[in-house]
Structure 1
Amino acid sequence: MDPRRRSFLRGALREATAAAPPPAPPRPPWALTPDARFTERCTRCGDCSRACPVQLIHPGDGGFPRIDFQARGCDECGACSRACPTGAIAPAGSVPAFVWRVEVDRQRCLGERQVECRICAEACDTGALRCVPALGGISRLRLDTEACTGCGACVAPCPVQALSMVAPAAAPDR
């Protein structure tokens, strides 16, 4: 299924006519990549969504499961992986849970606008987001992309929605 067709039907003509297809939506942890492999295997049964104890997985375009980080992040418990009957979600721990990483919109970030805010760094358990003290000023947000697991725990608490999850240009096949 070509995602550009769905974009066209939704009125997103610009996305649909672009040379590259739009990026895949955030899928459950351990979802097969590229997205075409996931959508080939996924039957849209909803078992992963029902198994998620924090209700992070919801039906997306075409009924395929996606993660919505606007409410909370993923704790990588593995319930969705155990519930998937088709193998569209690989066994938990067999590969890294997520292929995407956090991206900071520096124009929206409060720290970049000289307002003290450490909320995202406090939500990040891996230390991928840190607030580094600045001499004579407020702390500045520093992102360590290598430490980011893609769990999305930092997205929801941001008061100005300056954080989003993005897939790398070339996600590894799994």
Structure 2
Amino acid sequence: MSDSINQGRRNLFSRRKSNVQRPPWVNPYIEFTDICTRCDKCIKACETQIIKRGDGGFPEIRFSEAECTFCQQCVTACEEPIFDLQQAAPWQISASIKDNCLTNSGVWCQSCKDACDERAISFVMAVGQVPKPAINTDACTGCGACVSPCPSDSITISKPD
């Protein structure tokens, strides 16, 4: 058999890594979709309603309207062994700013900074330019508070590269 056929078969049976953000405190050593029963209890328990039913009916986080308060209600509601509260952080994600940020067009905007309780977003002054955002990834909790107030949809929350 040719190498391209073998590679195609390996890809067919290998699990794809998803870019979907799961709820906080999901155990990183499990395959989420193998254990989650899609019962929607975490979705109903979420105080900010950012846990939504995603592809295949599995819960995923959407920061478009609100942020995660880390209330742990999703953890408490779940009856499956999905969550691990012993982790140092609820998840390994943080904010990043895309090129379409208004500051790159010379518009003075600091809505993301104003929304960040952790003060993970600062603005760097430069002569003759509007201040540009900078994210301290060590301080960023990945809560998503900066996402919905951004008027240009310039902020993403994801795992660092």
| TM over 0.5, shorter chain | yes
Match of 1:88, as an amino acid? I
CA contact (8 A) 1:23 1:167 kept: no
Q: Shift in Å at residue 89 of structure 1?
A: 2.3
Match of 2:154 in 1: 162
Measured after TM superposition, the shift of residue 123 of structure 1 is: 0.8
1:105 to 98, 104, 116: 98
Mapped partners of 2:77, 2:160: distance in 1:
27
Q: Among residues 22, 31, 38, which one is paired with 1:44 in the alignment?
A: 38
Distance in 1 separating the partners of 2:87 and 2:107: 41
- 2-structure distance, mates of 1:121, 1:55: 23
Alignment partners' CA distance in 2, 1:88 and 1:22: 17
TM-fit CA distance, 1:145: 1.4
Measure, in 1, the Cα distance between the counterparts of 2:22 and 2:101. Answer: 26
- What is the deviation of 1:110? 0.8
Percent of matched pairs sharing the same residue? 36
Matched position secondary structure for 1:133: strand
Summarize the Cα distance change of 1:68–1:95 in structure 2 as closer, same or farther, 3 Å threshold: same
Residue 31 in structure 1 maps to residue 23 in structure 2: no
* Structure 1 residue 60 displacement after superposition: 0.6
Structure 1 segments unaligned to the other structure (5+ residues): 1-15, 170-174
- Pairwise CA distance, 1:22: 5.1
What TM-score does the superposition give when structure 1 sets the normalisation length?
0.77
Superposed displacement of residue 21, structure 1:
3.5
C-alpha RMSD of the superposition: 2.2
Q: Gaps spanning 5+ residues in structure 2: where? A: 1-10
CA distance in 2, matches of 1:126, 1:64: 29
Size of the aligned set, in residue pairs, is: 150
